[in-house]
Amino acid sequence: MAAGIFKGLIEDRQPLGEWQVESAGTWGLDGEPAATGSLRVMQAIGIDISKHRARSVNAVLLQEFDLILTMELSQKESIRMEFPETSEKIFLLSEMVDRLRDVEDPYGGTFSEYEFAAGEIMEYLEQGYDRIVEKATIIHDEKRGL
C-alpha cells in the first residue's frame, strides 16, 4: 500500500523523473499478489496495486535504493542486522514525521484494519513528504560523491 500511495503523491507533486519506488518485505512469500484487503482499500481511493507481487528484501535490492522506509521497527532492525552496510539509509516511516510508531500489518485482518493502516501510511507519507525527498536526495548525492 505504501508504494502505491507514495507513487501517487510523487505524480501529484512532481514528475517521477529519477524516482524509483518499490516494495519488498522482510517476511513475505515471493510472487504473491497483494492481499485482498490491500487491493480493496487502494481501489477505494483510486490506486491500482493489482500488478503488485511480493518479493523479499535482499542485498542487491537494498543497494539499488537511496532510502528504505519500513513500516515496523522490527523490520528496520532486522534489515540493519542482516545488511549493516545499509544502516544509514533505513528509517521507520513514522520517523519522517518525528514519531517512532509502527504501522501495524493488517494482513489477514478486517477491512477496517486495512483502512486504518492505509490511513496511517497516507498521513505519514503526506506529512513527511518533504523530509523523505530531502533524505533521499542527500543520500543519493552522497552516494554519487556530490
| pLDDT 10s digits, 44-102 | 999 999 999 999 999 999 999 999 999 999 999 999 999 999 999 999 999 999 999 99
Q: What angle do CA 144, 145, 146 make, to 5 degrees?
A: 95
Determine the Cα–Cα distance for residues 108 and 140; give it in Å rounded to an integer: 36
Phi, psi of 49 (to 5 degrees): -115, 20
In eight-state DSSP terms, residue 42 is H
Q: Which has more pLDDT, 16 or 100?
A: 100
pLDDT interval class at 26 (50, 70, 90): confident
- Kindly tell me if the per-residue pLDDT of 8 is higher than 60: yes
- Kindly tell me if the per-residue pLDDT of 19 is higher than 90: no
Check: CB of residue 62 under 8 Å from CB of residue 87.
no
Mean per-residue pLDDT over the chain, rounded = 93
Can you give the pLDDT at residue 114?
98
- Kindly tell me if the per-residue pLDDT of 16 is higher than 60: no
Is 6 strand, coil or helix? helix
| Top-level class of domain 2-143 | alpha beta
Q: E strands along the chain, which residues?
A: 68-70, 90-92
The β-bridge relationship of strands 90-92 and 68-70 is parallel
Can you give the pLDDT at residue 143?
83
Can you give the pLDDT at residue 15?
60
